[in-house]
Amino acid sequence: MAAPINISPAIRDDVPLLFELVMALAEYENLAHAVSGAPEDLEKYLFGDHPKAHAIVARIDGAPAGFALYFFNFSTFLMKPGIYLEDLFVLPGYRRRGIGTAIFQYLAQTALAKGCGRFEWSVLDWNQPAIDFYMSKGAVMLNDWRTCRVAGEALEDLAVND
């Protein structure tokens, strides 16, 4: 019999673990060089006076197996909040054991409990295993939309230029 999967909101004591999981995700996506934050940043934005995001941790037999980080956004057309899944990651040794499904179910339940009209995320175009998983959960790919981003020096320039 498979060990039960426990999904729970992250607590402040989980910050070092969350940072390790973020780094494992960054390695998987070949983006470790892009991580510029530190555990202190996670603690501030997840558990500070004005939290900006939420995290959940998946465990099997008490051992960390994965995590998800999400935040609430708002749809002007639906006129309802939504959940945006920033990241979901399951450690390689725990894949294909239902953890991703359990995380998705938890987030869908959270979305409905909070009156959200949608649950959305982005996926790297090369990550076919993730795309296949998302499609199996009823996701629709929005191929007409492109992600736009202004960050770093460009963001600073935009903030001060006329």
Task: Compute the Cα dihedral for 19, 22, 28, 33 and give only its sign.
Answer: negative
Note if 134 is an active site residue. yes
DSSP summary character for residue 33:
G
For the chain, how far is it from start to end, CA to CA, in angstroms? Answer: 63
Catalytic residue among 28, 84, 106, 134: 134
- Catalytic machinery residues: 134
